[in-house]
């Protein structure tokens, strides 16, 4: 059969980058965040942490059917977010370049730099695990 790729694995063709890493690059951008309960939050991104919590400044919160409320700073819990609306002017192609080093390459470089070690760690004596036995009598 043919190999089918999950539509959720990436959000842009030819880019394999974690969503969180992308969102963390949005610092100082004016964004609109739609929450699962219908509330709309607009503001300037100060930071995004690994759990997708977003920290905004000059935030305007509009709860459905109510007047907007302004906040100097605001944090939005990542699990409550339905969608991010990004500024039209944002250069997605530039932002979607994954500038993080690949794990395999980093591991390979680390392995090359280490000198081979004689008698790789046996540590803490011999033959104590699995079954015990053979102790003093």
Instruction: Say yes or no to pLDDT of 105 above 50.
Output: yes
Confidence label for 6 from pLDDT (cuts 50, 70 and 90): very low
- Evaluate if residue 27 carries a pLDDT over 90: yes
Half-sphere exposure of 103 (CA within 13 A, CB side): 1
The continuous run of DSSP H or E covering 33 comes out as: strand 30-35
48 close to 56: Cβ distance less than 8 angstroms:
no
pLDDT tier at 40, thresholds 50, 70, 90: very high
pTM, 2 dp: 0.63
Three-state DSSP class for residue 106:
helix
15 band by pLDDT with thresholds 50, 70 and 90:
low
Report residue 97's pLDDT band, with 50, 70 and 90 as the boundaries: confident
pLDDT in tens, 55-82: 999 999 999 999 999 999 999 999 999 9
Helix (H) or strand (E) holding 71: strand 69-76
């Amino acid at each position: 059969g043919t190999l089918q790729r999950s539509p959720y694995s990436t959000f842009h063709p030819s880019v394999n980058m974690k969503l969180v890493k992308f969102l963390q690059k949005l610092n100082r951008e004016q964004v609109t965040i739609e929450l699962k309960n219908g509330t709309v939050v607009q503001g300037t991104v100060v930071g995004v942490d690994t759990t997708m919590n977003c920290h905004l400044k000059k935030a305007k919160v509009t709860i459905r059917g109510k007047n907007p409320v302004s906040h100097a700073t605001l944090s939005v819990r990542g699990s409550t977010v339905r969608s991010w609306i990004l500024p039209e002017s944002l250069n997605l192609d530039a932002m979607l370049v994954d500038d993080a080093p690949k794990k395999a390459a980093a591991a390979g470089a680390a392995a090359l730099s280490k000198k081979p070690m004689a008698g790789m760690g046996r540590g803490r004596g011999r033959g104590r695990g699995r079954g015990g036995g053979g102790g003093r009598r």
